[in-house]
Amino acid sequence: MAAKRFHGTCVICQHDGIVPGITPQGRTCRTCSGITLNVGCTECGAEEELHSKGRCWRCVLKDQIRQTLTGPTGQIPDKLAPLAAALGDMARPNTVRAQMH
């Protein structure tokens, strides 16, 4: 649903987050518009565009990074930890995830 993708500031209450409602004055948050969409990530709680299973792009990306970089010990090797952190903290996690496929 496209309404879950709009991030901004509510024109009524100034909430910064997903603004799925539309008024003549501009976009509104869930509360001000009365929309009951779930826009919080079930893993980290961030109010962001959700990718799958109620998780945001960042949580999905971090999970994929863990799966890709985990060594035989079940942990990301120390020498790869900075890489994992840098990839997981990228400004646009959906773009990073698309490049990993």
Report pLDDT for 10: 95
Q: Are 20 and 6 in contact (CB under 8 A)?
A: yes
State pTM to two decimals.
Answer: 0.71
Q: 47: helix, coil or strand?
A: strand
Say if 50 falls within a structural domain: no
Contact status, residue 61 vs residue 50, Cβ threshold 8 Å: no
The pLDDT value given to residue 1: 53
Structure tokens at 90: 């990228």
Q: What's the total number of domains in the chain?
A: 2
Examine residue 47 and state whether it is found in any structural domain, yes or no. no
Q: What is the pLDDT along the chain (101 residues), one digit of tens a residue?
A: 565 678 889 999 999 988 988 899 999 998 999 988 777 899 998 888 788 888 988 999 999 999 999 978 889 999 999 999 999 998 888 776 665 55
Residue 49 within a domain = no
Residue 38 lies in a domain: no
CB neighbours of 25 closer than 8 A, spacing ≥ 6?
11, 12
Question: What range defines the domain where residue 95 resides?
Answer: 57-100
Spatial separation of the C-alpha atoms in residues 56 and 94, rounded to whole Å: 9
Residue 98: predicted pLDDT: 60
